[in-house]
């Protein structure tokens, strides 16, 4: 019975009229000597396995042997706060109110413990400090992302330089879906997807930002886009989306690292480069070159099908996120022009997670 249900669901889910252009069947995309089509099973073996390997590589190898030493070299210190003494009553108070309990609650707990109000407040400060993630840890987090984005952007350029669709986007649609997936494109996809799986797995253990859920949603949208483009053999347009998105993340991470380490002048320079690259690629090249081609060019060359509309919808969702983050970046630029330094009154968010001195001073 279970086997029949699974077979029925699989037949319904993988209906070729949903996933492929009209008059195509899955048997038309079976690899042969001339064409190596994207294999859907690859998405659930290699990237997830690579992501699970990347987590210990990052935390047990690179953090300890590389990023730790770089952080120390630029003047950061891994100072751990003194832990608060275990106390069930105050722990319950902290769990409910975090660092800002009402005064009457503090007095009630002080009376119950026969402590002074000042002693309770001191305990709460120590307990809050235990949850604070230091600049040292943030620096290492950014170092990991900077390493990845530098590598993947350079590798992406190497892969894409000789591809026809990199120079003429219409080749993304000519002769579709009979597009062979070369070995270098295969690795480009597997490495990129493994990174976003890794980021999703570790997202709840990372520095918690104001745009925590936006970033989590961003990871899921990116994974969905990569998965959709691979499943429908839209790998050509998928590689273009990847390379356009990777370049601005390098100066972004460098900006974070420099502000965490106190090199504000360098941060200002790199942040300017980042802001220009972000605006050019995310709200310039991406919608004008890629989204325009998927929405306008593709229907004139390729018969449309349901999965393609979903793919286009995900591209537009990603664009909406870009517009939101661009608004935040422009706020930082306006603040910089007024105050003469890169600042923000938020507790960090994706493109503008540049720390921001005022925020850091308040928290430390």
pLDDT of residue 217: 85
pLDDT in tens, 336-348: 777 765 554 333 4
pLDDT of residue 1: 67
pLDDT at 253 over 50: yes
pLDDT of residue 68: 95
**What average pLDDT does this structure show over 320-337?**
88
pLDDT of residue 93: 86
pLDDT at 224 over 60: yes
User: In order of start, what are the domains of the chain with their CATH numbers?
Assistant: 26-76+134-363 (no CATH), 88-131 (1.10.10)
pLDDT of residue 350: 40
pTM (2 d.p.): 0.84
Least confident of 2-6, 230-234, 349-353: 349-353
pLDDT in tens, 90-139: 889 888 887 788 899 899 989 989 999 899 889 988 888 877 778 998 89
pLDDT of residue 239: 97
3-state secondary structure the chain: CHHHHHHHHHHHHCCHHHHCCCCCCHHHHCCCCCCCCCCHHHHHCHHHHHHHHHHHHHHHHHHHHHHHHHHHHCCCCCCCCCCCCCCHHHHHHHHHHCCCCCHHHHHHHHHHHCCCHHHHHHHHHHHHHHHCCCHHHHHHHHHHHHHHHHHHHHHHHHHHCCCHHHHCHHHHCCCCCCCCCCHHHHHHHHHHHHHHHHHHHHHHHCCCCCCHHHHHHHHHHHHHHHHHHHHCCCHHHHHHHHHHHHCCHHHHHHHHHHHHCCCHHHHHHHHHHHHHHHHHHHHHHHHHHHHHHHHHHHHHHCCCCHHHHHHHHHHHHHHHHHHHHHHHHHHHHHHHHHHCCCCCCCCCCCCCCCCCHHHHHHHC
pLDDT at 205 over 80: no
pLDDT of residue 129: 82
pLDDT of residue 296: 95
């Amino acid at each position: 019975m279970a086997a029949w249900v699974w077979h029925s669901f699989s037949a319904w889910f993988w209906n070729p009229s949903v996933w492929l252009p009209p008059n195509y069947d899955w048997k038309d995309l079976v690899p042969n000597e001339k064409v190596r089509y994207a294999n859907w099973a690859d998405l659930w073996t290699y990237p997830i396995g690579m992501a699970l390997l990347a987590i210990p590589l990052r935390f047990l190898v690179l953090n300890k042997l590389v990023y730790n030493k770089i952080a120390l070299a630029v003047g950061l210190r891994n100072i751990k706060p003194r832990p608060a003494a275990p106390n069930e009553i105050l722990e319950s108070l902290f769990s409910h109110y975090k660092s800002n309990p009402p005064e009457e609650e503090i007095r009630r707990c002080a009376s119950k413990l026969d402590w002074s109000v000042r002693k309770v407040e001191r305990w709460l400060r120590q307990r809050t400090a235990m949850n604070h993630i230091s600049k040292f840890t943030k620096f290492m987090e950014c170092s990991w992302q900077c390493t990845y984005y530098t590598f993947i952007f350079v590798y992406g350029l190497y892969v894409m330089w000789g591809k026809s669709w990199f120079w003429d986007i219409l080749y993304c649609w000519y002769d579709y879906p009979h597009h062979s997936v070369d070995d270098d494109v295969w690795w480009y996809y597997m490495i990129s997807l493994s990174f976003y799986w890794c980021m999703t797995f570790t997202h709840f253990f990372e520095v918690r930002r104001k745009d925590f859920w936006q970033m989590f949603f961003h990871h899921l949208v990116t994974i969905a886009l990569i998965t959709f483009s691979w499943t429908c053999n839209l790998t050509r347009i998928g590689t273009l989306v990847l390379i356009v998105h990777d370049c601005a993340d390098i100066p972004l991470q460098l900006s974070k690292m420099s502000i965490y380490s106190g090199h504000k002048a360098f941060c200002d320079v790199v942040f300017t480069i980042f802001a220009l690259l972000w605006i050019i690629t995310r709200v310039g090249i991406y919608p004008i070159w890629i989204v325009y081609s998927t929405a306008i060019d593709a229907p004139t060359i390729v018969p449309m099908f349901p999965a393609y509309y979903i793919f286009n919808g995900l591209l537009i969702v990603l664009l909406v996120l870009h517009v939101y983050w661009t608004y935040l970046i422009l706020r930082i630029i306006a603040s910089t022009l007024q105050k003469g330094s890169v600042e923000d009154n938020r507790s960090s968010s994706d493109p503008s997670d540049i720390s921001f001195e005022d925020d850091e001073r308040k928290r430390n």
